[in-house]
Amino acid sequence: MVFLDLLKGFFGPWIAIKLCEMQVAAGGADYSHWVPLVAGILVILGHSFTCFAGFRGGKGVLAALGVFLALCPITALSAFGVWIVLTASTKYVSVGSIGACVALGVFAVMGYLKLPFPPDDINLGLMITCLLVAVFVIVKHKSNIKRLLNGTENGFGSKRKTPKA
């Protein structure tokens, strides 16, 4: 499942990029600045609100990683690195996911401002998409944030916690 969510996220914007390249090569208009972004957003929304599960799907973390691997791979891999460090150090996947979203937003702004890191070419539309997706995924983690604050979130290697009475 994990790998499929990642591939689903990747191939949506990747196919859009390839179709835009074909359109331009055929002498058509260049929509490559916004069509892949829309495709990526639609993949994440489709993952998070899938009709196959009563419009209650996942939180979009892996789908978003796949989307941004297609659109800005160095930025996405850098945010994934933050996820690895936070998840390994805290033992909470939700902390890693939220931290990676914050990092994605920060790295996208840095790329847009043409700072030396990350070296991806981030245009205004891509930066806004990164920020919107980061906020969306963090909001989808609202229940995890509540459990973290209550001390009832389950982490790696911990027994299931019950809410305090």
Residue 156 placed within a domain = no
Question: For 130-139, what is each residue's pLDDT tens digit?
Answer: 999 999 999 9
The tally of domains found in the chain comes to 1
Q: Is residue 165 part of a domain?
A: no
- pTM recorded for the entire structure: 0.91
Q: Is residue 28 part of a domain?
A: yes
Helices (H), 26-151: 35-48, 61-71, 73-90, 93-112, 124-140, 142-150
**Residue 126: inside a domain, yes or no?**
yes
Q: Among residues 27, 54, 24, which one has the least CA distance to residue 36?
A: 24
Is there a domain that residue 43 lies in? yes
Q: Supply φ then ψ for residue 110, to 5 degrees.
A: -60, -40
Q: What are phi and psi of 45, to 5 degrees?
A: -65, -40
What is the Cα gyration radius of the chain?
17
Asked if residue 163 is part of any domain, the answer here is: no
Give the closest residue to 37 by CA, choosing from 134, 143, 128: 128
pLDDT of amino acid 53:
78
pLDDT of residue 162: 59
Q: What are phi and psi of 120, to 5 degrees?
A: -65, 150
Q: What is the pLDDT of residue 86?
A: 98
pLDDT tens across 22-66, in order? 999 999 999 989 999 999 999 999 999 988 777 778 899 999 999
**Which stretch of 59-63, 75-79, 155-159 has the lowest confidence by average pLDDT?**
155-159
Which of 80, 75, 56 lies closest to 126, judged by CA?
75
Q: Which domain holds residue 11?
A: 2-150
Residue 60 within a domain: yes
Residue 56 covered by a domain: yes
Distance CA 39, CA 31 (A): 12
* H or E element in which residue 23 lies: helix 2-25
* DSSP 8-state class, residue 28: -
Residue pair 8/61 in contact by the 8 Å Cβ criterion? no
